[in-house]
A and B are shown apart, each in its own frame.
Chain A
Amino acid sequence: MDRRRFLTGALALGGAAALSGCDQIAGTNAGRAALQAGEDASTFVQRLLLTPQKMAREFAESEISAHFKPNGSTDPQDAEYKKLLADNFASYRLKVGGLVQQPFEISVDEIRALTARTQITRHDCVEGWSAIGKWKGPQLSELLQRAQLKPQARYVVFHCFDNMDEGGLTADEDASRYYESLDLVDAYHPQTIVAYEMNGTPLEVAHGAPLRLRVERQLGYKNPKYLKFIEVVESFADIGSGRGGYWPDNGYDWYAGI
């Protein structure tokens, strides 16, 4: 009787503690380490399965979303960006640099002159919704080949014009600037393109004009808009909070395949 009562009592207590205590657990170092282990396991398996040849599905024209929801920044207030937008990006130059032999700057017209890839793909937002759009632009690999990566290059970081804290709540503006990063597997993937066109027309501001990245095997936040500078690095530990992207710095997975 006593043992039975003890067991049921202990079980009920354990259950209640487990539920009410989850937030506290997530706040401890051990809790964080456990949650991180889950992310690491997912990344490991996806890296194993997602060989460079695996392609995201491409859709038919008829499946394109009538309305593609713009998310995140939709109207950057950055002064430099506003100036570039005012003359329709005529003086805009995308910078490619970092650990490369040949850093260079390239205009939108020059980007348009490169061999382009067109792909109709599904954009999967981390929030759970999807939209299908048609994107056109050169493969990122073409730009990287032109820059010639140095041997120690491991990641490609995308610095953007948009600031996620446009209200100016934080004193340090750079802390909320959008950025993302890819390892070389995804940077050289055939479907990773620097898009200048969406659904047959130049990118709208809400969708990242003049250039945005498309990374089709990962979630939406890995597709930075308003590209400013593509930097090749050995490690992104010194950028932002060191987790490789604005959203990863805010608790989201760096490898966003799930």
Chain B
Amino acid sequence: MTAQTLPPSRRLVFRHPLVVRATHWINVVALTILLMSGLQIFNAHPALDLGDRSFDHTILSMGATSDEQTRGYVEAFGRRFDTTGVLGLSNVQGEPTARGFPAWVTLPAVQDLATGRRWHFLFAWIFVVNGLVYLLYGIMSGKLARLIPTGADLAHIGSAIREHLLLRFPKGEEATRYNVLQKLTYLVVVLGLLPLQILAGLAMSPGMDAWANWLPEAFGGRQSARTVHFVIAMLLVLFVFVHVGMVVLSGPLNNLRGMITGWFAITPARAEER
């Protein structure tokens, strides 16, 4: 895969401008820290409730049984699952400890709500400023508008899904722009999930709620906002898994080079080959 072995018709296109690359990688770090410190904060009350009060409409909780053979469990929608070793009960420095998420996904690893909150709020600021830079650049340069699928895009959504499932990725001229599935996914994440996540986070703040009484109510109450915040975090994790999976399947080095240097190699489609 060195430059010398590239087929003569394979060409490099400049795909990602510096602002997009920089904000992307800052986002990788920020979202990772936000997730891990968020799980630390979750562990202080390892349950999800609906409404404005806790303990009345609990849809999920984690814990450890107090009998001799201590087991970790997750109780969701009235059903109990044994999750010993991962959720509810896991080892902290070799000792079985009752805690929601295990030490290896929380920041800090040990139970320390105060420090977890400090990490979370510092990187929330970094994430918001980074996101604003990205959006401002995207709007001013017109690149954000390119995420909106065209009518022709939507007309071919069926074949796009089929091609993706067969792991046949766009080539040639088609590969120079985002396909309809990419556009829809990025649009939902960038303009949907991420802004909603910020609002749900702010809705948990008693200060912000005094400033805007409607904010927690827009989610159905402060505890519902907390549940939404958790669910969106999990959806973002799912997005990252799919995103990284696609990167790996469609040429990991080329994709990585694209997001690091900006240059992305296009493999010619059959018709374009000479």
Binding site for B on A (CB under 8 A): 1, 4, 7-8, 11, 15, 18-19, 22-23, 26, 34-39, 41-42, 46, 49-50, 54-57, 59, 63, 65-67, 69, 122, 124-132, 216-219, 247, 250-253, 256-258
Contact = CB atoms under 8 A, between A and B. Distances in A.
Given A1-B2, A23-B108, A50-B211, A219 B122 contact: no
Contact of A131 (B44, B53, B114, B206): B53
Nearest to A126: B113
Q: Top 10 nearest A-B pairs by Cβ distance? A: A257-B207, A38-B122, A251-B114, A128-B45, A129-B54, A258-B205, A127-B44, A35-B118, A217-B210, A57-B213
B40 to A, nearest CB: 11
B121 A42 contact: yes
B223 interface: yes
A253 B113 CA distance: 11
Contact of B45 (A46, A50, A125, A258): A125
Nearest to B202: A258
B257 interface: yes
A50 B210 contact: yes
Nearest to A7: B260
Contacts of A46: 205, 207-208, 211
Q: How many B residues are at the interface, by size bracket?
A: 35 or more
Contacts of A11: 256, 260
Contact of A23 (B44, B109, B113, B222): B109
Contact of A56 (B1, B54, B206, B261): B206
A128 B108 contact: no
B54 A130 contact: yes
B27 to A, nearest CB: 13
Given A49-B211, A128-B44, A38 B53 contact: no
Contacts of B264: none
Contact of B53 (A35, A63, A126, A250): A63
B256 A124 contact: no
22 contacts: A4-B256, A4-B257, A22-B36, A34-B122, A38-B121, A38-B123, A39-B118, A39-B122, A50-B207, A56-B206, A65-B55, A67-B55, A69-B55, A124-B206, A125-B45, A126-B113, A128-B54, A247-B114, A253-B117, A256-B206, A258-B121, A258-B202
Contact of B222 (A34, A37, A124): A124
B32 interface: yes
Nearest to B221: A130
A244 B202 CA distance: 24
B248 to A, nearest CB: 12
B226 A22 contact: no
B33 A65 contact: no
A55 B253 CA distance: 54
Interface string B113-136: 111011101111100000000000
B209 interface: yes
A132 B45 contact: no
A24 B262 CA distance: 33
